[in-house]
Amino acid sequence: MTRHFLKDTDLSPAELVEVLDLAQAMKADPYAFKPLAGPQTVAIIFDKTSTRTRVSFAAGVAALGGNPLIINPGESQLGHKESIEDSAQVFSRMVSAMVWRTYEQSGLERMAASGSVPVINALSDDYHPCQLLADLLTIREHRGNDSASGVAGLTLSYYGDGANNMAHSYALAGVNAGMHVRIAAPTGHQPAASVVAEAQELARVTGGSLMITDDPVAAAQDADVLVTDTWVSMGQDHAGRDDEDSPFTKYQVTEELMALGHEPIFLHCLPAYRGKEVAAEVIDGPASVVFDEAENRLHAQKALLAWLVERA
């Protein structure tokens, strides 16, 4: 059966380890793996803008011996002149995998249900699972331990909009890898109940945990990783989210919060807004590994593509 990666938990804990291990091997020998030789084409479709996702998938598909077909917002019939279902069947006749950055998670689910090749979520309103593969790889590299995932037992504290795609993916992917995930977010901006329930269920299997709090100081205590994301996600209205009265202001990652952690590293999926969700001294300081994290999009997604195509 064709496998897809629409959300973080589409990989089991053991499969997540396989993908991370393969990503490390690919990073060590970047041009040694050619599962897309032919070249096979991978469609990489954007309904929202992108730098990292666009470049990393294009470079990654090429490095795997394949041909990346980038489709920018508005360039295809998908979604306006043609249904997701018909588009999925057309793409499936010509490409080996589809990578799609879009709005609604249900669109990705419909694409996967109607096509016959792997579909990868390159960011939706609900999740950003490819980013989390890169983040887990980065944590492994900088704070890794002897556990199977390399990160189990570590504590990751996320600050800011707890209801956005990144927060949801940290909750699911972090717990999937056996981490203790803390989400520090204001009331009204905390993760969806369905995501909390899924992460807590998964925690029983992996030994990880999920804590939701509105207390930024409590969340930082002894944390190994501090992470944040923009207060305004693509497609959201700025109003009230990033002005002086923003509910997120007290969740800015500062040097004071970093000092409460256990020699923490700082992660951010980027693009970042200095002086908003993170102090410049933190993101530009010695604990920041955000550009390793950005590079790891390339290695992690190559591994994911190879893993999925092998099973298609």
Binding site for ligand CP (CB under 6 A): 50-53, 123, 131, 269-270
Give the residue ranges of DSSP H helices in 101-192: 105-114, 129-143, 165-176
Give the residue from 18, 26, 17 showing the smallest Cα distance to 60: 26
* Chosen residue from 62, 234, 260, 287 binding ligand NVA by CB under 6 A: 234
**What is the DSSP code (8-state) at residue 309?**
H
Annotated active-site residue 110? The verdict is no
Which part of the chain contacts ligand NVA (CB under 6 A), choosing from 84-92, 112-120, 159-167, 244-252?
Answer: 159-167
Measured over all CA atoms, what is the biggest interatomic distance in the chain, rounded to whole angstroms?
Answer: 55
The answer to the question of residue 296 lying near ligand NVA (CB under 6 A) is no
The answer to the question of residue 166 lying near ligand NVA (CB under 6 A) is yes
Among the listed residues 182, 297, 299, 301, the single catalytic one is: 297
Q: Which is nearer to ligand NVA, 96 or 165 (CB)?
A: 165
Q: Hey, how many other C-beta atoms are within 10 angstroms of the C-beta on 253?
A: 26
Taking CA atoms, 6 is separated from 125, 142, 163, 208, in Å, by: 12, 27, 18, 22
* Chosen residue from 155, 164, 252, 288 binding ligand NVA by CB under 6 A: 164
Least Å from the CB of residue 132 to ligand NVA: 11
The answer to the question of residue 277 lying near ligand NVA (CB under 6 A) is no
Secondary structure (DSSP) of 278-296: B-HHHHTSTTB-HHHHHHH
* Chosen residue from 230, 246, 288, 296 binding ligand NVA by CB under 6 A: 230
Question: What's the rounded Cα separation, in Å, for the pair 181 and 211?
Answer: 6
Annotated active-site residue 269? The verdict is yes
Annotated active-site residue 301? The verdict is no
Amino acid at 58: A
Among the listed residues 10, 140, 229, 299, the single catalytic one is: 229
Active site residues per annotation: 101, 128, 131, 229, 269, 297
Interface ranges with ligand NVA (CB under 6 A): 123, 128, 164-166, 229-230, 233-234, 269
